[in-house]
Amino acid sequence: MTTRPRLAVWGDPIAHSRSPQLHTAAYRVLGLDWVYDRRQVTAEAFDDALAGLDDAWHGLSLTMPLKERAFAAAASVDRHAELTGAVNTLLLGERPTGFNTDVGGIVDALGDDGITGVRSVRILGAGATAASALVAAAELGAEHVDVRARRPERASALIALGGRLGVPVDVDVLDTAPAAVDLTISTLPGGADLDESVARALSADGGALFDVAYAPWPSALGAVWQQGPVISGLGMLLHQAVRQVRTFVNGDPAAPLPDEHAVLTAMREAL
């Protein structure tokens, strides 16, 4: 009897994740009888949970707070993961391979709204997703990135990453008067409490808004944004998942799937 390949998304919390719907829709179109579940796993429990998987397991999607743990567990990583220190996709086997598909997910989602190049970007937040946003900004041609965070001291790694990418990074607190930019990428958690006066100040010359959050929607920023377009994180969720499916099927997040248009349509309908 052949065992059905198993995959899952792990994180804490995890009940809100839409990854099972997205992946199941994709594998149905591809004619693959694969099982994709969700599991609540804390950062402290990650190593033991990973070690407990048997040979039926083909891959994992990782959300917060497990991306750094997955990076440490990978025997090798792709360039996006190496740059950010974060893995959201593990291709399992004797030597697990780690990928970061969030970077491509941001680029692809912005492309859906016609944003294929920028010169100046503001990133809100200084966590793991901010690093992916910085790499995405560099790939879109950004010449300068302004990072705003509640705790600017956490952004030292982003300054160093900007140096590697050849993109100058300035850091300040959220409520400092902002300079004009082409694009604002908010990596603040969904439902983050953001003072309306700060949100309005950020929106005044913030260009387009790409908010990685999508629940609740609109976000505190999206509700008051004075410029446009305002783009929710659903596009990033969709496109990073497409790249995960490519990884699990082809071993390469950049290698297109068979009949990818039909796969993408089914995944979009599953959102």
Q: DSSP per residue over 152-184, as a string? A: GGGGHHHHHHHHHHT--EEEEETTSPPPP-SEE
Separation between Cα atoms, residue 88 and residue 8, nearest integer Å: 12
What pLDDT, on the 0 to 100 scale, is given for residue 128?
85
Q: Distance between CA 66 and CA 56 in Å, rounded? A: 21
Average pLDDT, the chain: 94
Q: How far is CA 37 from the centre of its chain?
A: 19
pLDDT band at 266 (very low <50, low <70, confident <90, very high): very high
Of 161, 210, 204, 164, the residue nearest 186 (C-alpha):
210
pLDDT category at 2 given cuts 50, 70, 90 is low
Name every residue whose Cβ is closer than 8 Å to that of residue 1 and which is 6 or more positions away in sequence: none
pLDDT single digits (tens) 94-148: 999 999 999 999 999 999 999 999 999 999 999 889 999 999 999 999 999 999 9
- Residue in the block written with tokens 């300079």: 179
Mean pLDDT of 154-159: 94
Please identify every residue annotated as catalytic. Answer: 67
